[in-house]
Amino acid sequence: MKKILFITIIFLNITNFKSFASDSLNIINKKVNFGFATNSNRSINSVIVHSTFNNSGGDKYDIDLVIKQFSTYVVSAHYVIGRDGEIYQLVDEKDNSYHAGKSSLPDGTTNVNSCSIGIELMTSYTESPTEEQTKALLNLINDIKTRYPIKYVLRHSDIAPVRKTDPWNFDWDSFKKRLEAIKK
């Protein structure tokens, strides 16, 4: 009897944790019709973290203005995370979003868009990501890791060091430590 109770408690804890993890991800649909290639056969093994903001006048953190700017350059990302931690999805994970550009992974892969999920944090050149954004990023990457064998979680500046400096003003070492700490 005791054993059954013990197992039940463990089971409840696991299911509670799982429902907590998915409940905390409130994804807002902002799917776009540009800046990606359909590809339902791709193998995802990387997550690339970026920074972006609307640099074309108006609110620099307005998601619709950021998307409009992406449309001008025919680029995208799978997700954009707003200043309050809201997560917008622009492209289906199964498709190749154009977020990485000319870049390469540590294992030599150069077509990074084909095997990665791109996540943009809305930050400017002078502001850091907020704690809410950082938490949302941790939750989102953790969720992605449950669905794909993720080999690399990297900054855009790691895969295109000559061209790119994003994500800006982000304590990456501290972020990676928090991400590692989530691992069971």
Instruction: Give the residue numbers marked as catalytic.
Output: 120
Which of 102, 176 has the CB closer to Zn ion? 102
Q: Does 78 bind Zn ion (CB under 5 A)?
A: no
By beta-carbon proximity to Zn ion, the closer residue of 49 and 136 is 49
Please report how close the Cβ of residue 121 comes to Zn ion at its closest, in angstroms: 10
Count CA atoms closer than 13 A to 86's CA, side-chain side: 11
Assign 30 to helix, strand or coil: coil
Buried b (16+ CB within 10 A) or exposed e, 24-61: eeeeeebeeeebbeeeeebebbbbbbbbbbbeeeeebb
- Token pair of 153, please? 């979680």
User: What is the nearest approach in angstroms of Zn ion to the Cβ of residue 176?
Assistant: 18
Site for Zn ion in 125-144 (CB under 5 A): none
Spatial CA neighbour of 143 closest among 38, 10, 16, 20: 20
Of 43, 24, 27, 38, nearest in space to 119 by CA: 27
Q: Is 35 in the site for Zn ion (CB under 5 A)?
A: no
Nearer residue to Zn ion within complex by CB, 50 or 78: 50
Q: Does 80 bind Zn ion (CB under 5 A)?
A: no
Of 24 and 152, CB closest to Zn ion: 152
156 binds Zn ion (CB under 5 A): yes
Least distance in Å: CB of 123 to Zn ion? 11
| Interaction between residue 155 and Zn ion (CB under 5 A) | no
Q: How far is the CB of 3 from Zn ion (least distance, A)?
A: 52
H-state helical runs in 24-130: 63-73
- Contact yes or no for 133/121 (Cβ under 8 A): yes
**Binding window for Zn ion (CB under 5 A); candidates: 7-15, 21-29, 43-51, 57-65:** 43-51
Residue from 50, 105, 133, 137 binding Zn ion (CB under 5 A): 50
The rounded Cα 153 to chain-centroid distance in angstroms is 9
Binding site for Zn ion (CB under 5 A): 50, 156, 166
